[in-house]
Amino acid sequence: MKLKIIGIGILLVINIAANAAYCNELPELGDVSQTVLTPLQEQAIAEQILRQVATSDDVIQDPEITDYLQALGTRLVANSPNKQQKFTFFVVQDNTINAFAMPGGVIGVHTGLILAANRESELASVLGHEIGHVTQHHLARMLASQKYDIFKNIAGITLALLVARANPQLASGALTTASAVGVQSQLDYTREHESEADRIGLQILDSGGFDVRGMPAFFTTLQRGTRFAEGSAPSFLRTHPLTSERIADVTNRVEQMPYRQVTDSLEFQYVRAKLQAGNGSVQSAIDVFEQNIREHVYTNEAVEHYGLAIAYLRKNALHQAEQQVTWLKKNAPSHAMIVNLTAHLLVAENNPQLAAKEYASALKLFPDSRALIYGYAEHFVAIKQPENAISLVKEKLGLYPDDAKLYDLLAKSYTLQNKVLLSHQALGEAYYRKYDLMRAIEQMELASKANDGDFYQKSIVEARLQELRRMLGDDKKAKNAT
């Protein structure tokens, strides 16, 4: 069942809550008198959310965008009060200005927020604020203190809350229909929560080397939110109320802190340009980039040419895209996002030999670029060279052992070679990394029944299958223990 994070209906939430077995039978919340969720419960919530994130059409799967946000978030987490807490950041394709944090360290950011941030420190201030909510267990405490009627387990409440955090207006109506207004009423953080998250966010921002003035600057952006969300304030304000006291408190704190001039990273600038190039009408995007270049309205000319190249590629205007890439290769410093764009253009131009050379040389310069790794492996699969794809993926799994996409590519490559056992085994590992134990077990069972594996391969599959079944049993035991 493929779910969407934005626009999911309450009936779907109820259906999933009623089918706990499909959701790996997550543990119930248990005693509502407890003040916080247990680490096991928070982990269960996080895994349930990430399962939806892995398959949602509304979540951007572009590795350049997701890796940038994860790297930025990781840098901030390293300066947070709880450095041991695992965090996962993802990007939702939505033009509204919003970000939301969930128990277990899962933080979603809308594309509209990234585009609304004028500087990287503004974006970092929002992430720092959300990290503060997680480290202080604000939402976990609200969850644990609720009495549940319809929502009998974490699976149901997780999906309902995820909708509400991502789209409060939609979720409010859905929850009202289900006579569960009590849940929605607890989603909005209190003034105390917001003040504490602001304070921690500022400390994280400062320790992380960003400009703390990014936080009050973003408040100003939020107050101008009607420019971005027609007829209403930004979604962020509905779950993170912005009061005059809050603005004054943050402003006063910032004035006591040393001034720091911080330059935006190239990654921030390129990611924003990439999002702009993919947003709305392609011709409108082209017009904006061309006008900026013509009128010299930019902080970095290369970023405008990069965005224009992406927009042209989106329009399939390959000759114009090639002109922009040529300019970038001549005038801009070498960057993984530029060489990845170059390789994509060569693939679009149906020039496999040059594309292969571009990927090979690019990976020597940027060996840990997931976008280049994916692109090169997909290129090998497309031109029916599975042995090269397998060799590349196996090499890069050392860098990214938990990357589901790499295992998906491995499965496709083995399928091209008609290796049934290895294909199902790889697909099982992909599902495991998407937090879907049931489907992982199904694939490992198919692998164990395949007739083409040798003794060594069958032994590995059998051992892994037993391990996965044990994990599923542990989940059931955890539920029974709460």
Q: Which two tokens stand for residue 46?
A: 């996080």
Pairing mode, strands 99-102 and 88-92 = unpaired
Report the amino acid identity of residue 378.
E
Q: pTM for this one?
A: 0.85
Q: Which of 275, 273, 310 is nearest to 292 (CA)?
A: 273
Q: pLDDT by residue (tens digit) across 303-338?
A: 999 999 999 999 999 999 999 999 999 999 999 999
Domain definitions of the chain by residue range:
10-255
- Cα–Cα dist 397/402, whole Å: 8
Q: Which two tokens stand for residue 23?
A: 């959701």
Q: Which two tokens stand for residue 218?
A: 């973003």
How many beta carbons lie within 10 A of that of residue 68, not counting itself? 22
- Cα–Cα dist 28/153, whole Å: 5
In this predicted structure, the answer to whether residue 20 has a pLDDT above a threshold of 90 is no
First to last CA, the chain: 27
Mean pLDDT of 443-470: 96
In this predicted structure, the answer to whether residue 115 has a pLDDT above a threshold of 90 is yes
In this predicted structure, the answer to whether residue 257 has a pLDDT above a threshold of 50 is yes
Band (pLDDT 50/70/90 cuts) for residue 422 is very high
Question: Lowest mean pLDDT: which of 39-53, 195-209, 342-356, 448-462?
Answer: 39-53
Q: By the 8 A CB rule, do 384 and 353 touch?
A: no
Band (pLDDT 50/70/90 cuts) for residue 3 is very low
Q: Which of 190, 152, 185 is nearest to 168 (CA)?
A: 185
Counting Cβ atoms within 10 Å, is residue 334 exposed (0-12), middle (13-18) or buried (19+)?
exposed
* pLDDT computed for residue 244 by the predictor: 79
Q: Which residue has the higher pLDDT, 1 or 459?
A: 459
- Cα–Cα dist 134/43, whole Å: 12
Question: Lowest mean pLDDT: which of 30-34, 210-214, 244-248?
Answer: 30-34
In this predicted structure, the answer to whether residue 394 has a pLDDT above a threshold of 80 is yes
In this predicted structure, the answer to whether residue 233 has a pLDDT above a threshold of 90 is no
In this predicted structure, the answer to whether residue 71 has a pLDDT above a threshold of 80 is yes
Band (pLDDT 50/70/90 cuts) for residue 78 is very high
In this predicted structure, the answer to whether residue 60 has a pLDDT above a threshold of 50 is yes
Contacts of 33 (CB under 8 A, 6+ apart): none
* pLDDT computed for residue 481 by the predictor: 42
Q: Which two tokens stand for residue 136?
A: 């202080």
